[in-house]
Chains A and B, each alone.
Chain A
Amino acid sequence: MQKLMLLGDEAIAQAGIDAGMSGIYAYPGTPSTEITEYVMHSKEARAKGVHAAWGANEKTAMEAALGMSYAGKRSMVCMKHVGLNVAADAFVNAAITGANGGLVVVVADDPSMHSSQNEQDSRFFGKFAMIPILEPANQQEAYDMVFEGFEISERHNIPVMLRITTRLAHSRSGVQPKPAKEQNAIRIPSDPRQFILLPANARRNYKKLLQNQVVFEELSDNSTFNFYKPGPDHSMGIIACGISYNYLLENYPDRKVPYPIVKVGQYPAPHNLIDQLYQECEKILILEEGYPILEESLRGFLYTGKTIHGRLDGTLPRDGELNPALVAKSLGMAVPAEVPMPSVVVPRPPSLCKGCPHIYSYNALNEALSVYAKGRVFSDIGCYTLGALDPFTAINTCVDMGASITMAKGAADAGFVPAVAVIGDSTFTHSGMTGLLDAINDKSPITVIILDNATTAMTGGQDSSGTGKIEDICQALGVDPDHIHILNPLQKHHEENMRIMKQEIEYQGVSVIIPRRECIQTLAKKKKDEKKQAEAGALN
């Protein structure tokens, strides 16, 4: 079979299709989005009837994947690191139920926060749930690990985490595919109590999970993704996890590293290999892309053993992603002198597109709020977060999906009135609806502006769960229909939009304003696709 040129994300998607996955569920989030998109656009996946769907949020996606596993089929769920916080209830308990059909949970972390609000390391979550974790160093391993992940999952009835980071997710390289496998037949769990986590069953399942830890350790000890590479110089031993292995090799053009290395791609970390390295070498250097998890456990609380270099002692920075130069420095190598960026270069932050509907919503909101003291707008996660920057400086918070509505509620409950929430349509159905219900039940005087561009725009225009239903949802939750307004965010409607915002901001109850106009990016793409189809039609 010919090699395919794939992003790390795409390699995972293709591997899922080839490994006989029957369904993939996700909520879009950089850097994980392209996995599910690839399956959605794959003719092969369509021909095989692979179900591919965006969930309302990561939790619903995780649960749907678990349900497919219950039915005996292989399923995958994908999310970014902070998405795992949303899915955590389902994720941690899926480790207690265990899997039936293979279940692979793909989590893409974002060290250096290229497109995120933190750089939490999902390996912590995997360890917390006590499940096996796979961490590829390159695109080929990402592909191969999906196959192995499904195998481990089915053989040991356990969900398996596949953890990647931004750099691998969005880097392209050659991948050798494997022969495709058939999908599983429907087959419910042999133990009818497996998925009923009543305390009596849960205690039994949990004991089984604890007993399985030894099995998972053995799997790691014997995994081909973990290996020991000898080296003549035992003054130091190196542990390289995931993609950091590449940065290590990069510093030796002939790929001959003088020190012994343990390369880690499967967790629990391989005890046998690390013990061997520790015994043989005078000190240890640990390279981890993310938090110093392995480093902390190897040091121990009292740190009485051999010297351990890594992120904790300043050999490597405590935060941010690694790169070849940082690893060179940690090896004591000379790095090229720092060349400053020419002073003429100025930052070019991302900005709202020309003609973006949010521009007109923010202009109207800023004017409507001009009579009040500043600091009243609680916002959320999406393109509209760019409203924090010049020339708008229109929002005052951005924390987590849905927090705009609930934070506005809390502030209003404290007497901070008016309090305004600004949230996108996709974020609203992800995690905003429940907060709105709280506000209605509590009669909190807030104005919620739902910027409805009919898509999940920031991640590239994926379908939004609430398209066409936003005002119905608000009304059904209990917002007074007289205080639900739909606006058209265009310059020519500025005065009217501003007036309605002003009026509802003054209202002492829950009001919802929905500025509605399709995202100009998805609209342009739709027009282009239509033109392409028309041309294809004309040719036929």
Chain B
Amino acid sequence: MKKDIILAGVGGQGILSIAATIGMAAIKKGWHMKQAEVHGMSQRGGDVQSNLRLSDQEVASDLIPKGQVDIILSVEPMESLRYVPMLSPTGWLITNTKPFINIPNYPEMDAIIAEIEKVPHHVLLDADQVAKDMGSPRSANIVMLGAASPYLGLTADELEGAITAIFQRKGQEIVDQNIAAFRKGRELAEAQA
């Protein structure tokens, strides 16, 4: 059992909170984990990614070998495509469709979506809209975690346990909002499968 995940986004979008949640669930299950992050200059609005490796065996490399990525989980559509060269032929691309536009030459949305649809296994979701509709606009990342959850090798219960543990200190209301966001994301992804 192994899952190699690339979390993608733009510096400041908070992909590391998703990584922390998945990581916590994996550790609790007794899996091994390595998670390489990007710190430094790129965090100022540049493209950022995290290599998250989960396995029931000891993990050797901190970096995922090319062509072995099982899941690209992106909180930004163009950024999801940046890591397609790393994706396994059987891998999943799961992305938020809400663009983060901080460059003058951001491509046409239609072209991005068309390119994503070329990847055989993909899930597209406007997580920002979903989160807003639920009255918790800051839960968009957890909506995306929910959307990826059927493919992570972890059960919904295990992931919800990690969400609860991570958000606990912010109060029960925040926990409930995030659990609801997670379930909604999962439901919408399953409907696309």
Contacts and interface: CB of A to CB of B under 8 A. Distances in A.
A458 B41 contact: yes
Contact of A342 (B27, B35, B81): B81
19 contacts: A115-B41, A170-B39, A171-B34, A247-B60, A247-B63, A249-B61, A250-B61, A323-B65, A324-B64, A338-B85, A339-B84, A344-B111, A346-B78, A349-B46, A349-B103, A350-B11, A352-B44, A353-B44, A458-B41
Contacts of A5: 23, 27, 33
Most chain A CB atoms below 10 A, which of B58, B66, B67: B66
B41 A324 contact: no
Nearest to B89: A336
Interface string B102-143: 111111000110010010000000000000000000000000
Contacts of A353: 44-45
B98 interface: no
Interface in B31-48: 32-47
Contacts of A249: 60-61
Contact of B65 (A243, A250, A460): A250
B65 A171 contact: no
A235 interface: no
Interface string A457-492: 011100000000000000000000000000000000
A174 B46 contact: no
Nearest to B106: A346
B61 to A, nearest CB: 4
A106 B113 CA distance: 46
Nearest to B24: A5
Contact of B41 (A114, A170, A344, A390): A114
A411 interface: no
A174 B27 contact: yes
A172 B46 contact: no
Given A167-B36, A171-B37, 4 more contacts: A115-B42, A247-B63, A348-B103, A350-B46
B10 interface: yes
Given A324-B66, A341-B82, A246 B44 contact: no
B154 interface: no
Given A173-B34, A341-B84, A346-B103, A30 B41 contact: yes
Interface of A: 5, 7, 30-31, 33-34, 114-115, 167-168, 170-174, 243, 246-247, 249-251, 255, 323-325, 328, 335-336, 338-342, 344-353, 383, 386, 390, 458-460
A349 B42 CA distance: 7
Given A168-B62, A250-B60, A324-B61, A340 B38 contact: no
B61 A246 contact: yes
Contacts of A246: 60-62
B115 A348 contact: no
Contact of A323 (B63, B78, B107, B112): B63
By Cβ-Cβ distance, the 5 closest A-B pairs, closest first, are: A115-B40, A336-B67, A30-B40, A350-B46, A250-B61
A346 B105 contact: yes
B59 interface: yes
Contacts of B102: 348, 351
Most chain A CB atoms below 10 A, which of B42, B61, B66: B61
Contacts of A349: 46, 103
Interface of B: 10-11, 23, 27, 32-47, 51, 58-67, 78-79, 81-82, 84-85, 87, 102-107, 111-112, 115, 118
B40 A167 contact: no
A268 to B, nearest CB: 26
Contact of B63 (A114, A167, A460): A167
Contact of A170 (B32, B37, B46, B60): B37
Contacts of B66: 323-325, 335-336
A31 B60 contact: no
Contacts of B78: 344-346, 348
A290 B119 CA distance: 36
Nearest to B12: A353
Contacts of B85: 338-341
A305 to B, nearest CB: 30
A351 B46 contact: yes
A115 B60 CA distance: 25
B44 A386 contact: yes
Contacts of A250: 60-61, 65
A385 B118 CA distance: 38
B1 to A, nearest CB: 13
B47 to A, nearest CB: 4
A293 to B, nearest CB: 22
Most chain B CB atoms below 10 A, which of A7, A349, A459: A349
B46 A171 contact: no
A37 B12 CA distance: 19
Nearest to B36: A171
Given A325-B66, A344-B78, A459 B40 contact: yes
Most chain B CB atoms below 10 A, which of A250, A335, A347: A250
Most chain A CB atoms below 10 A, which of B32, B42, B51, B118: B42
A345 B93 CA distance: 15
A34 B39 CA distance: 10
A251 B68 CA distance: 12
Contacts of A115: 39-42
A168 B40 CA distance: 14
Most chain A CB atoms below 10 A, which of B40, B42, B65, B84: B40
A328 B44 CA distance: 33
Most chain B CB atoms below 10 A, which of A5, A168, A345: A345
A173 B54 CA distance: 10
